Amino acid sequence: MESKTGTWLEKKGLAQMLKGGVIMDVVNAEQAKIAEDAGACAVMALERVPADIRADGGVARMSDPDMILKIMDAVSIPVMAKCRIGHFVEAQILEAIGVDYIDESEVLTPADEEHHILKHNFNVPFVCGCRNIGEALRRIGEGAAMIRTKGEAGTGDVVEAVRHARTVIGAIRQLETMGDEELMTFAKNNGASYELVKEVKTLGRMPVVNFAAGGVATPADAALMMQLGVDGVFVGSGIFKSGDPARRATAIVKAVTHYQDASILADVSKNLGEAMVGRNTSQMPEGEKMAGRGW
Amino acid sequence: MKIGVLALQGDFAEHISMLKKLGVETTEVRLPEHLKNLDGLIIPGGESTTIGKLAVAYNLLEPLKQFGKDHAIWGTCAGAIFLSKDVSRDQPLLGLMDIKVQRNAFGRQVDSFETDLEIDELMKATGTEHAYHAVFIRAPLIESVSGNAKVLSALEDGRIVAAQEGHLLATSFHPELTSDTRFHEYFISLAS
């Protein structure tokens, strides 16, 4: 029997292995080791965490492949890396060096203001951000095997992640109660494929794994997202921009596992030191927000 | 009959829905007290380092070792790693099965694959004749079995991908990601 690689089941399946876990942004091998030791289920390798990308301004691009390879050498857990929206050559490069997942991410400066990457063309799986169900299903239609809410990266303000998770999960609940004859109009109004809309109604959930991202900074934030119904959590700047990264990382991992146990959450929230300095998204000019990138 | 699924991290929900499909009562296990009144336990796929560290942090290692002495346990992928005695690196293990495991033995995600396996024991136990379609994701390999552990399935080139030691079962692949319930049925027969 011949073996098959790069199948939809394989791509979707790796994300299923990450469920109930925390994926942490790291900028070097040393941070990657700290993340792995804390119990991260994967790391996102990038040159600058979103908080620094915000502070620095300018164009944010794919990271140096050499830096990503060093992180891949340092840890045994899966390594993800980001490419710009629509920049399929950055994606080809990331696939060539063997990253386990590509994040086509709004945190970097978009390379195409109309189109995303046709992700079905790749053997490596992709994760993409979304603010609502239409955006999620468009990305899945293009081949994303995992979805995450966008939130507002690099702010430490969880409000946008909550808004996006509630919007997506609310739409799934709405779909579950709809009559079959209403689905085509739902597909039209949300700019999503009819087939995927039908699938969501049948499954009562996203057809792929759905993580939260963008503003998670504390164990309580992480457990909040889990209780809202996501499958796991990305933490970007929240860990390595805090006072005691190793301690905070371990606490967030525990909070995602025991998200329904308030006494454990209380215990892991103790003495974590300074959280990252947050930025209130409601006072942020629209032009500075990253979540609006993506179409 | 009640089967627990270790729910520290990974695809435990997929195992639970498989067990429900077979009409088996099931529960999520996150703390030692959740092992009470169980007839068997599944350790799901996920990241073995994450699962191991959480098991240590919540004092599950000893209770799981005790449970495995007289109850059925099945580990899929990360779960198989966790059940083993040796993975050639320093990480928390239950050491219940006499198997040596190599992590990420097939390479990175782009090397993950699906293939058909002829598993005599499984076909005999379930009275079926068709091959088993197995999904490997950043999969470990069972390098060797010793003591009372025996090989349950191997690839065409002889590399071991499933092993059994009495009521303990380890698979490199993920039956919970397919619609084929035969492996779960086989495990339930070990647990009863």
Phi, psi for residue A163 in degrees, rounded to 5: -55, -45
Give the best residue of A3, A33, A80 to mutate against chain B (max B CB count within 10 A): A3
Please compute the mean of the pLDDT values over residues A77-88 and round it to a whole number. 98
Q: Does residue A31 sit in helix, strand or coil?
A: helix
Q: Does residue A84 sit in helix, strand or coil?
A: strand
| C-beta neighbour count of A170 within 10 angstroms | 13
Q: How far apart are CA A219 and CA B39, in angstroms?
A: 33
Whether A21 sits inside 8 A of B10 (CB atoms) is: yes
pTM of the model: 0.97
Please compute the mean of the pLDDT values over residues A138-154 and round it to a whole number. 97
Q: How far apart are CA A174 and CA A185, in angstroms?
A: 13
Summarised one tens digit per residue, pLDDT across range A6-42 is 999 999 999 999 999 999 999 999 999 999 999 999 9
- Chain A residue whose CA is closest to B52: A39
The β-bridge partners of B42 are B5, B74
Single out the residue of A131, A112, A109 nearest to residue A214, CA to CA.
A131
- Tell me the one-letter amino acid at B189: S
Please compute the mean of the pLDDT values over residues B178-184 and round it to a whole number. 97
Judge whether A41 and B34 are in contact, CB under 8 Å: no
Q: What dihedral do alpha carbons A26, A31, A35, A36 form, nearest 10°?
A: 110
Whether B77 sits inside 8 A of A17 (CB atoms) is: yes
Catalytic residue among B15, B71, B165, B176: B176
- B191: which residues sit within 8 A by CB, 6+ positions away? B1, B3, B39, B40, B71, B72, B167
CA distance B158 to chain A (A): 14
Q: How far apart are CA B187 and CA B192, in angstroms?
A: 9
Residues of chain B with C-beta less than 8 angstroms from the C-beta of A253: 50, 53-54
**Residue among A16, A77, A258 whose CB faces B30 most closely:** A258
Q: Does residue A98 sit in helix, strand or coil?
A: coil
Q: How far apart are CA B68 and CA B58, in angstroms?
A: 18
Q: What dihedral do alpha carbons B143, B147, B152, B155 form, nearest 10°?
A: 20
- Chain A residue whose CA is closest to B134: A3
Tell me the pLDDT band of A277, cut-offs 50, 70 and 90. confident
Q: Is the pLDDT of residue A1 over 70?
A: no
Residues of chain A with C-beta less than 8 angstroms from the C-beta of B108: 72, 98-100
Helix A159-177 with A183-190: angle, nearest 10 deg: 160
∠ CA A40-A82-A274, rounded to 5°: 50
Does A4 touch chain B if contact means CB atoms closer than 8 Å? yes
Residues of chain B with C-beta less than 8 angstroms from the C-beta of A101: 109
Does A185 touch chain B if contact means CB atoms closer than 8 Å? no
Single out the residue of B121, B97, B137 nearest to residue B182, CA to CA.
B121
Helix and strand totals (H; E) in chain A? 13, 9
Whether A101 sits inside 8 A of B109 (CB atoms) is: yes
3-state secondary structure A237-276: HHHHCCCCHHHHHHHHHHHHHCCCCHHHHHHHCCCCCCCC
Give the CA distances from residue A269 to residues A69, A111, A239, A266, A283, in Å, rounded to whole numbers and listed in that order. 34, 40, 14, 5, 27
Summarised one tens digit per residue, pLDDT across range A181-230 is 999 999 999 999 999 999 999 999 999 999 999 999 999 999 999 999 99
> Which residues of B touch chain A, with CB atoms under 8 Å apart?
7-14, 30, 45-47, 49-50, 53-54, 57, 77-78, 89, 103-104, 107-116, 131, 135, 137-138, 156, 174, 177
**Residue among A19, A78, A250 whose CB faces B109 most closely:** A78
Q: Is the pLDDT of residue A276 over 90?
A: no
Single out the residue of B63, B50, B69, B66 nearest to residue B7, CA to CA.
B50
Summarised one tens digit per residue, pLDDT across range B152-177 is 999 999 999 999 999 999 999 999 99
Q: How far apart are CA B123 and CA B92, in angstroms?
A: 34
Helix and strand totals (H; E) in chain B? 6, 11
Q: Does residue A79 sit in helix, strand or coil?
A: strand
State chain A's mean pLDDT as an integer: 96
| C-beta neighbour count of B143 within 10 angstroms | 16
Residues of chain B with C-beta less than 8 angstroms from the C-beta of A258: 30
Whether B46 sits inside 8 A of A20 (CB atoms) is: yes
3-state secondary structure B96-132: CCCEEEECCCCCCHHHCEEEEECCHHHHHHHCCCCCE
Residues of chain B with C-beta less than 8 angstroms from the C-beta of A99: 108-109
Exposed, middle or buried: residue B121 (CB in 10 Å: 0-12, 13-18, 19+)? Answer: middle
- Chain B residue whose CA is closest to A19: B10
Summarised one tens digit per residue, pLDDT across range A32-75 is 999 999 999 999 999 999 999 988 988 999 999 999 999 999 99
**Residue among B50, B107, B174 whose CB faces A21 most closely:** B50
**Residue among A3, A78, A256 whose CB faces B113 most closely:** A3
Does A227 touch chain B if contact means CB atoms closer than 8 Å? no
What residue ranges in chain A does DSSP mark as E strands?
A: 4-5, 22-26, 42-45, 79-84, 101-105, 126-130, 146-149, 209-212, 232-235
Judge whether B145 and B160 are in contact, CB under 8 Å: yes
Give the best residue of B6, B8, B9 to mutate against chain A (max A CB count within 10 A): B9
Judge whether B170 and B83 are in contact, CB under 8 Å: yes
